[in-house]
Chain A
């Protein structure tokens, strides 16, 4: 088992498109992936459950992976959330 806590850094939070990217990536791994916001834990491969977490910018999520590729899954997902930021702008650079 492998786990990590990540912070949502893109301005618009975990809305539909980021949730889709997360689920698509998570689904590439054999490990079971669970994501929790402290109140509820959901299946990281279900877009319905992930989007219902409604994680806004600044929310901390803990990701837990269990299975043969757990370690790699956590690293890759953390990269998507915190480094790539779902290819979306951070609040400071947000243009309206």
Chain B
């Protein structure tokens, strides 16, 4: 039995078998296999080489037409390496003699060669280490790709454990069988956390070296309430955790009882409580949990796990299906927020050095007009089916907003010409998720029908902290005075301009923040669907007077620590079970 402590990011308790997903982007940990599995593992090595050769031959063929001599040479060299029998032999011998996984042997042998090159004095030759690195990644992608395909065909319940989960990986999970997530890296707002909360499964992140301790198939307890993962628990621990799980489910049932009740404070102030979704099938959870609509419909899922761009019809079907279910309730579709992921990066010859400050989100759309217009057309076509609104992400200045609106008008004109119906008065909003947008909110308000404050990116960009980097993730907090002051400024500017305003970041999904948000003046929040009952319970337990005085106090404080402990205490008094 081994106990690991991390950060709890999605509540719940799960006791299941583990399934480890490695990634070619990180070091592959040494894992031993049963000697009887060695032949199978050697076969995996052979298949990986053959598939990599096939893939590279295709790429080389495509390059022929483009006619790049230098790049063709690179492909040719890589192919010689993949066909090199002595290289293959070195790897299979290691699998045999040390009884280790194919991934580990591939990675170790190629890294030895890499470091051999890197240590050579002649720079021209030492740079060849990069070629070996490429070959290593290509082989690992083959090995891990096959494993990922297996993951899409799970037959039993598992807890998925990884160094870090990318949107592409989580989109491929068979969600009927994934009962918990745990990662070495990450923070409260990492992608893993968002996905786990939207699926309503427990998750713990920032576990440092969990992937090196667990082997696939071992039993693990994932305690998303306390941030603990227990590997191979003893009988007594399992019994204790079964008890915790029962108690937790009972709290859930009590909260379900307020599903049909409105989100109104004790002194009668009505709050619009919406849900955020990552995949269309989560829309159902919002209704089950008693949400009033979709405040953030993320559309990246349409682009992930596929080699080609989605068609207009595919976009339309995804939106139409959801809007029909929600009828007169609001559905805010955010245009695609791609960037810093495989979809945009794999199309580049070299990845961007700093993708979060690079060509992502609305910037990517404004430079890829065909892709952008395809989505906008589908949104406009679906706009007649219900109360659809459209929202542009990562706006940093007024020109971007004007440009995006101009493109939307182009799309409307095209639809007019084709006599296709759409809602001419569709509400057009923007995400406020950069300090520049928050600081110029009064200007942006002239061109927008509503604002939605995306607190995750706003916090990351304001505090200059990568929320996924565990070395600095403790600095990341929406309770930082800088973030709260920006939010409060945006509230005032939106109020002056009399436009709509919501908060859709993770901040709204945290019980301790909701009172402050109400006190600052927020009346619409969009949260991760499983959190709807808890947030509603808090709203129903407080008065605006309490919230106003809390917000005033907090806005006058100067340290994150002081603010978060003050907020936590206030919320704990209202809903003790949530903490």
The answer to whether A and B interact is yes
A residues contacting B by CB (< 8 A) are: 12-17, 19-20, 23-24, 43, 46-49, 51-52, 54, 56
Interface size class of B (residues with CB under 8 A): 10 to 19
- Does any Cβ of A come within 8 Å of B40's Cβ? no
Asked whether B86 lies within 8 Å of A48 as measured between CB atoms, the reply is yes
Produce 1/0 per residue, B127-139, CB < 8 A to A.
0100100000000
Kindly list chain A residues whose C-beta atoms are within 8 Å of the C-beta of B125. 13-15, 54, 56
- Does any Cβ of A come within 8 Å of B80's Cβ? yes
User: Contacts A20-B77, A23-B80, A47-B77; is A15 near B86 (CB within 8 Å)?
Assistant: no
Q: Which residues of chain B from 130 to 178 have any CB-CB distance to chain A below 8 Å in the complex?
A: 131
Give which listed residue, A12, A49, A54, contacts B86 with CB less than 8 A. Answer: A49
- The total of interchain contacts (Cβ-Cβ below 8 angstroms) comes to 48
Asked whether A47 lies within 8 Å of B124 as measured between CB atoms, the reply is no
Centre residue among A16, A46, A47, A52 by max chain B CB count within 10 A: A16
**The 6 A-B residue pairs with the shortest CB-CB distance in the complex, in nearest-first order:** A47-B80, A46-B86, A16-B77, A48-B87, A54-B120, A56-B122
Give which listed residue, B76, B87, B131, contacts A46 with CB less than 8 A. Answer: B87
Kindly list chain A residues whose C-beta atoms are within 8 Å of the C-beta of B81. 47-48
Kindly list chain B residues whose C-beta atoms are within 8 Å of the C-beta of A20. 73, 76-77, 80
Kindly list chain A residues whose C-beta atoms are within 8 Å of the C-beta of B76. 20
- Does any Cβ of A come within 8 Å of B451's Cβ? no
Complex: A23 Cα to B131 Cα, angstroms: 17
Complex: A12 Cα to B122 Cα, angstroms: 9
Kindly list chain A residues whose C-beta atoms are within 8 Å of the C-beta of B113. 48, 52
Kindly list chain A residues whose C-beta atoms are within 8 Å of the C-beta of B77. 16-17, 19-20, 47
Complex: A41 Cα to B77 Cα, angstroms: 21
- Within the complex, what minimum Cβ distance (angstroms) separates B401 from chain A? 47
- Within the complex, what minimum Cβ distance (angstroms) separates B153 from chain A? 36
Complex: A24 Cα to B128 Cα, angstroms: 19
For residue A16, which residue of chain B has the nearest CB?
A: B77
User: Contacts A48-B113, A49-B86; is A15 near B128 (CB within 8 Å)?
Assistant: yes
For residue B120, which residue of chain A has the nearest CB?
A: A54
Kindly list chain A residues whose C-beta atoms are within 8 Å of the C-beta of B122. 13, 54, 56
Give which listed residue, B86, B87, B116, B128, contacts A16 with CB less than 8 A. Answer: B128
Complex: A16 Cα to B81 Cα, angstroms: 10
Kindly list chain B residues whose C-beta atoms are within 8 Å of the C-beta of A54. 117, 120, 122, 125
- Within the complex, what minimum Cβ distance (angstroms) separates A48 from chain B? 5
Kindly list chain A residues whose C-beta atoms are within 8 Å of the C-beta of B85. 46
Asked whether B84 lies within 8 Å of A15 as measured between CB atoms, the reply is no
For residue B77, which residue of chain A has the nearest CB?
A: A16
Produce 1/0 per residue, B75-114, CB < 8 A to A.
0110011001111000000000000000000000000010
For residue B135, which residue of chain A has the nearest CB?
A: A48
Kindly list chain B residues whose C-beta atoms are within 8 Å of the C-beta of A51. 117, 128
Complex: A54 Cα to B128 Cα, angstroms: 10
Kindly list chain A residues whose C-beta atoms are within 8 Å of the C-beta of B116. 52
- Within the complex, what minimum Cβ distance (angstroms) separates A56 from chain B? 5
Complex: A56 Cα to B128 Cα, angstroms: 13
Kindly list chain B residues whose C-beta atoms are within 8 Å of the C-beta of A49. 86
Complex: A49 Cα to B86 Cα, angstroms: 8
Complex: A33 Cα to B116 Cα, angstroms: 23
The contact sample of 28 A-B pairs, CB cut-off 8 A, is A12-B124, A13-B124, A13-B125, A15-B128, A16-B73, A16-B74, A16-B77, A19-B77, A20-B73, A20-B77, A20-B80, A23-B80, A24-B80, A43-B86, A46-B84, A46-B85, A47-B81, A48-B84, A48-B113, A49-B86, A51-B117, A52-B113, A52-B116, A52-B117, A54-B120, A54-B122, A54-B125, A56-B122
Complex: A17 Cα to B124 Cα, angstroms: 12
Asked whether B120 lies within 8 Å of A17 as measured between CB atoms, the reply is no
Complex: A54 Cα to B81 Cα, angstroms: 15
Asked whether A47 lies within 8 Å of B84 as measured between CB atoms, the reply is yes
Produce 1/0 per residue, B491-518, CB < 8 A to A.
0000000000000000000000000000
Asked whether B131 lies within 8 Å of A16 as measured between CB atoms, the reply is yes
Complex: A96 Cα to B329 Cα, angstroms: 66
- Within the complex, what minimum Cβ distance (angstroms) separates B103 from chain A? 19
Complex: A48 Cα to B125 Cα, angstroms: 13
- Within the complex, what minimum Cβ distance (angstroms) separates A9 from chain B? 15
- Within the complex, what minimum Cβ distance (angstroms) separates A57 from chain B? 9
Kindly list chain B residues whose C-beta atoms are within 8 Å of the C-beta of A47. 77, 80-81, 84
Given pairs A15-B128, A16-B128, A54-B120, 17 additional interface contacts (CB within 8 A): A16-B77, A20-B73, A23-B80, A24-B80, A46-B85, A47-B80, A47-B81, A47-B84, A48-B81, A48-B84, A51-B117, A52-B113, A52-B116, A54-B117, A54-B122, A54-B125, A56-B122
Kindly list chain A residues whose C-beta atoms are within 8 Å of the C-beta of B124. 12-13, 15
Complex: A14 Cα to B76 Cα, angstroms: 16
Kindly list chain B residues whose C-beta atoms are within 8 Å of the C-beta of A16. 73-74, 77, 128, 131
- Within the complex, what minimum Cβ distance (angstroms) separates A12 from chain B? 5
- Within the complex, what minimum Cβ distance (angstroms) separates B127 from chain A? 8
Complex: A14 Cα to B116 Cα, angstroms: 15
- Within the complex, what minimum Cβ distance (angstroms) separates A42 from chain B? 9
Complex: A14 Cα to B77 Cα, angstroms: 13
Produce 1/0 per residue, B230-270, CB < 8 A to A.
00000000000000000000000000000000000000000
- Within the complex, what minimum Cβ distance (angstroms) separates B60 from chain A? 13
- Within the complex, what minimum Cβ distance (angstroms) separates B400 from chain A? 42
Complex: A52 Cα to B536 Cα, angstroms: 65
Complex: A12 Cα to B125 Cα, angstroms: 8
For residue B86, which residue of chain A has the nearest CB?
A: A46
- Within the complex, what minimum Cβ distance (angstroms) separates B4 from chain A? 39
